[in-house]
Copies of this chain bind each other. A is one copy, B any other.
Amino acid sequence: MDDLRAQVDRRLREFVERQLHTPGGAEFEPLRTAAADLLSGGKRLRPAFCYWGWRAAGGTDEPGVFTAAASLELLQASALVHDDVMDKSDLRRGMPAAHRRFETLHGKSGWQGSAEQFGEGAAILLGNLLLIWSGEMWRTSGLPPESLAAAQPVHDHMRTELMCGQYLDLLEQAAGENTVESALRVALYKSGKYSVEHPLRLGLVLAAGKLEPWMDELCTAYGTRVGIAFQQRDDILGVFGDPARTGKPAGDDLREGKRTMLVARTLAAASAHQASTVRGLLGDRHLDERGVATLREIIEGTGALRECEDLIGDYLTEALAALEQAPITPEARAALADLAVAATSRRT
């Protein structure tokens, strides 16, 4: 796995380094640096699911698969940059969010006009570049054209679905019922499918040239479950995570008012008084440590935290059982099992 990470890291560095070298293009340096800095972090989970899907379907190590897998990090980076603009977040991976970075560039340079508007505009464009590059890196990975052609519908579907998931998330914050069911749907579309299921499916189809029934079964029984558990872990980290590890302020999701599965479970189990407290504090931009502590107590006290942890455990168990049934090599089985554990028990 360390080797996979190194392969992915190197390819991302080299790809971004090649971009934006036009004559007199020194002014694009801040875009390239912002992309490179953002891409230097990250858990590389999506490339790993893609790579091990490829190996699970009989693919052997070759340069192209590392490049194709690495391209998924560009898509993720694009989503993060735009997400931070939409949420008006300040931090990402322990560094200023891209729009804040460009806002600071504007301020430091003493430029005219609104620094905030410049920052948001530049971040929207950076996210677009990352989105465009993810497709370009995928297609120019060096894998055979027929493999890429077979996987292209999955690739297109994944990207459209990601945007739809993000839109569902906006709707859920604005108008959602905040039921466990609706929060689960958002989690599945916004994150679960594109973090685990689709990268895995891409790897499988790239290697096999088509989706065999057992692959589809694996993507659902293992991929969907790991994806949902992954997002539940994300929900928990957004409330209880250690800022030194997550790179986000403590309780940031509470301050942003995210309507997660954890919150939905809390509201479902809360007394009238507790529910009213949660509704009053959630989304308060100026929520202090005490407010965070109050919400954490309710989330623990209602049993919602325990429920989420149990669900993660159950999903992981079921996913690993499904993995046992799949006709894949012992090596791929072991790696996908490790990945499932890593994705759902992570602390960053």
- Please report A residues at the B interface, Cβ cutoff 8 Å: 19-20, 22, 25, 27-28, 31, 82, 85-86, 88, 106, 109, 111-113, 117-118, 120-122, 124-125, 127-129, 131-133, 135-136, 139, 145, 149, 152, 156, 159-161, 163-164, 166-168, 170-171, 173-175, 257, 283
A290 to chain B, nearest CB (A): 24
**A155: nearest residue on chain B (CB-CB)?**
B136
Distance of A85 Cα from B86 Cα, bound (Å):
11
The closest CB in chain B to the CB of A79 belongs to: B128
A175 contact from B19, B109, B136, B257, Cβ within 8 A: B109
In whole angstroms, how far apart are the Cα atoms of A124 and B159 in the complex?
Answer: 14
Give the docked Cα–Cα distance between A164 and B29 (Å).
11
Please state if A160 and B129 are interface contacts (CB–CB under 8 Å).
yes
Q: Assuming the A-B contacts A27-B171, A149-B145, A283-B113, are A120 and B86 also in contact, with contact meaning beta carbons closer than 8 angstroms in the complex?
A: yes
Q: How many copies of the shown chain assemble into the complex?
A: 2
A27 touches B168 (CB 8 A): yes
Minimum Cβ distance to chain B for residue A175 (Å): 4
Q: List 11 A-B contacts (CB under 8 A).
A: A22-B161, A27-B171, A86-B120, A109-B174, A111-B174, A112-B175, A113-B283, A118-B174, A125-B163, A132-B156, A132-B159
Main secondary structure of the interface of A (DSSP, over half): helix
- Among A118, A145, A170, find the residue whose CB has the most chain B CB atoms closer than 10 A: A170
How far apart sit A63 and B305, CA to CA, in the bound complex (Å)?
A: 56
Known contacts A82-B125, A118-B170, then 20 further A-B pairs from the complex at CB < 8 Å, ordered by chain A residue: A20-B160, A22-B161, A22-B164, A28-B167, A82-B128, A86-B117, A112-B173, A112-B175, A113-B174, A113-B283, A125-B166, A125-B170, A127-B128, A129-B163, A132-B156, A132-B160, A136-B156, A139-B152, A145-B145, A145-B149
Contacts known (A121-B86, A128-B163, A129-B163); A113 close to B145, Cβ less than 8 A: no
A31 proximity list for chain B (CB < 8 A):
164, 167
